[in-house]
A and B are shown apart, each in its own frame.
Chain A
């Protein structure tokens, strides 16, 4: 239908940044994630990764 509303699917993502090499990686949100939480260590430089952003990306279908 021309005027029918598109359904929105929101996928949550967490963005991690390494404290030393500043590398940024994006992954799917896991329960227990929160902004500024220290997570794993960075695989190339062994620095501390922390979550800098959590957001939902909208997909219209």
Chain B
């Protein structure tokens, strides 16, 4: 085929090794990718992260709006709560110096408790007559909204730094982490609805099991927002402990254990908690093990391990596997259905590991929102 005196078929003949145009078709992209490959990849990755960042911003703003609306409708404060909420979101927590780790757990506990007390006071300031249940719900929603706010700010910082420096390797870890961050952000956003309506969370399976065992017994205060009671089972004395429901709280199981042990003799401790499942594992599957089954920042676990070690008390653990989303949103049917299985395993552990006349402490660990006792 001829066009303006040029043979088109000959010009694009790939089999002709001497064709200079075909050489250019191959070599030019190679040169472009050699020098600008990272920049092109940076642009593609940036646009992906930018989309996720926008989504994260929407989640953050929607959650904040929901929180403000909830405060306005339930507490009817005399002034607009928005400025106070904005100020709360900008609060930070400085963790203690860890150059000398000796005694750091007490310091972390002190900082965290000061922060919790501050949040409690902030909520109380909206309405002094607020009930404990309502206050705990708002505290939890505030924590969720604050976490989303923090997630957005960190992701935005990493993204903008990488873009500003035109630094492709800097954006790679963010690209890898983004699906996990978004999964957590989606879970947090969904959690708000459960907190508002006071629905039990997946994390509440431990309190649900122990709460059932506590029915019909006299409940006493063991520590702040934590209750305990006594019960008999096949000649063994059972001490049952959980956070005080149906408020949205995890209580203070470390302090409660210390108090119960100061007044009673314990032979074994059984802890029931929710645990993060591995990919491929089923939600609601039950597993047994040893050691203190308790999450959080680690101060309660440290306290409980120290007490158990000092008194040589073995700790048995039963966990109900679930994803991060299952743990902080309304309890799934599979998780709720596992309660009977967990209860029978608790009694099995007690029978196998204690003799008649011995004492057992059963702890239901987790957020007890929507679960009484």
Contacts and interface: CB of A to CB of B under 8 A. Distances in A.
Given A35-B372, A54-B370, A29 B332 contact: no
B272 to A, nearest CB: 15
Contact of B333 (A32, A35, A55): A55
Contact of B331 (A32, A33, A37, A56): A56
A35 B330 contact: no
A37 B245 CA distance: 11
A34 B330 contact: no
Contacts of A33: 198, 370
Given A53-B336, A54-B199, A54-B370, A34 B331 contact: no
Contact of B245 (A10, A31, A34, A57): A34
Interface string B168-198: 0000000000000000000000000000011
User: In the complex, which range does the number of interface residues on chain B fall in?
Assistant: 20 to 34
B200 A35 contact: yes
A36 B199 contact: no
A36 B372 CA distance: 6
Nearest to A37: B372
Interface in A13-50: 29, 31-37
A29 B197 contact: yes
B212 interface: yes
Given A36-B372, A37-B372, A55 B246 contact: no
Interface of A: 10, 12, 29, 31-37, 52-58
